[in-house]
A and B are shown apart, each in its own frame.
Chain A
């Protein structure tokens, strides 16, 4: 579920499998709890063992002293001769009584008293201190033994009990700590699971919200209900959604506009063809056929312009640039257009700069941009008008096209760069074959070169269109 979330997937790029935040939290919290409780259990076992050692050593010592005092009694010799009437039976042990074996000896190491199963406890060394604890093996198990001599040296007591008993005490105490923990562990796991799931639910809801977004639904994600931790993510997603929506909107509008723009030349071609078919008059017939061709040409030109714009639009920057002379480029374009100007008896002049204007860019595209500007000037300037093209360098390069045409209305000026907008002059011109895209293409080419397209009426009448470089022009290191 989290793995569906692209952002997380990106963070986990070194692991082919997406990581689950929930699984990681569950694992971490559960393992930590088990570890902490395990340590606590071991610690209490050791503590209990230590306490049991102290307690039972004390008990051994107490019992030894009791036996010694018994042996010191005057009738002890008599008891020794009879031994104990009956050894204590293990079955008689009180449930909490410690299993204990003992023997009491006199100075000549004769046994005066012994418990029923008392082993032949080894003799302590004479040089040992009065009271000595020894761990030893007897009958296949470890024992703890205390040897104690009476202060006058006449008797000594050896008393022992199995070390196993002590360990049992430790284990019992540890079990008392551990068993409730073991019982509580599944409950804890369930609690952790639900709390982690609850905490991550806003993330899942966010993921569902994002998944619900499509090109048809690019509404911003709700910010109010999100966690503080995901707010930057939601804000970033909303910014992305807004940009996407704007881009899609633009594209949709452009596609719709393009389709509608194509309908008019298509309608003209269709109707002219039908007129040609229905005309009996030869002149009308051939006129209609020529109009069919003109309509096909216009549709072709419109499609070419649309394709050019479609290719230029998505570019973030020019795919290939080289260094060239802007003045030489402009001079070449002006020469190419001279025949068109001559056909309308218009004067097309070029004012060259004193030095070459070297810059990086796409010379072919800039040629298209300049050609569009000159074509507009030729189209809207009356017969025998004057069109002047300038390439200048004022810190930044400029390309200027001035004409002696009617200019534009103040209210119309801002709309000139709109796609598919044709000026009133265009609508009223006898041969308006413009697509309404020329200036939009020119503007896009200008943008890609770090330049601006500006169009103003000239004080002396006519229109001036400028390509003015404003920012840092593209450099050669772009690829």
Chain B
């Protein structure tokens, strides 16, 4: 799961990035509105955490431009103003949720989970397929009610595949979802983690679609 963080304040940005990394998100952090716009043009993100007061291009204008392009990336805005007018303006500009500073790390993580879940079309807080149940909040995975231990990367990969159930995920998409900018990726790491997951959940739990990528469930 890859998240774009647009926050100009160095201390707050650093904290949010660290906090989201603790929840195994890959976080790209940009520090002005223009850089945020370019990043959203360039990459696909599972969610965006957007501060409203930004240099070079303010958050609301960035949000309107994003929605104007038809980009449906879930966006959670951070605002220093708790007046309802500001919240309404943010939601009307296309935000999916908001948090007023100062906020709780746990609440930020929970709201992001909910945003990502709803964007994938799921109402249930857990993701499941063929006896495998993934609980994003508890960071637990079970197979037939038996808890299965996964590494952080394995968990993130499984989370991505389950949230895009029945859709083919390319190797590049999965890589982007696992790694933030600047994190070193070794070649064929995705294959390695897929291999680990197949060992734990069965060989045909994740199917390979030749030349396209991987899928959990029916590729339609």
Contacts and interface: CB of A to CB of B under 8 A. Distances in A.
Q: Do A and B bind each other?
A: yes
Contacts of B54: 427
Given A267-B101, A267-B102, A274-B105, A424 B32 contact: yes
B6 to A, nearest CB: 12
Interface in B1-22: 8-12, 14-16, 18-19, 22
Interface of A is mostly: helix
A291 B102 contact: no
A272 B19 CA distance: 8
A427 B51 CA distance: 13
Given A264-B80, A275-B22, A427 B105 contact: no
B120 interface: no
B55 A264 contact: no
Chain A contact-residue range equals 20 to 34
Interface stretch (A116-124, A333-341, A428-436): A428-436
A275 B104 CA distance: 10
B11 A278 contact: no
A274 B106 contact: yes
Interface in A254-307: 260-261, 263-272, 274-275, 278-279, 284, 287-288, 291, 294-295, 298
A428 B55 CA distance: 8
Given A288-B18, A424-B32, A427-B32, A271 B105 contact: yes
A272 B101 contact: no
A436 to B, nearest CB: 11
A291 B106 contact: no
A295 B18 CA distance: 15
Nearest to B16: A271
Contact of A279 (B8, B9, B11, B22): B22
A270 B103 contact: yes
B15 A272 contact: yes
A298 B14 CA distance: 15
Contacts of A427: 8, 31-32, 54-56
A199 B191 CA distance: 96
Chain B contact-residue range equals 20 to 34
A279 to B, nearest CB: 7
Contacts of A270: 102-105
B200 interface: no
Given A274-B105, A424-B32, A298 B18 contact: no
B81 interface: yes
Given A274-B104, A274-B106, A427-B31, A267 B12 contact: yes
A267 B32 CA distance: 18
Given A260-B80, A264-B101, A427-B32, A284 B18 contact: yes
27 contacts: A260-B80, A260-B81, A263-B80, A263-B101, A263-B102, A267-B12, A267-B15, A267-B78, A268-B14, A268-B15, A269-B11, A270-B105, A271-B102, A271-B103, A271-B105, A271-B108, A274-B15, A275-B15, A275-B19, A275-B22, A275-B105, A291-B15, A294-B11, A427-B55, A428-B31, A428-B32, A432-B9
Interface of A: 260-261, 263-272, 274-275, 278-279, 284, 287-288, 291, 294-295, 298, 422, 424, 427-428, 430-432
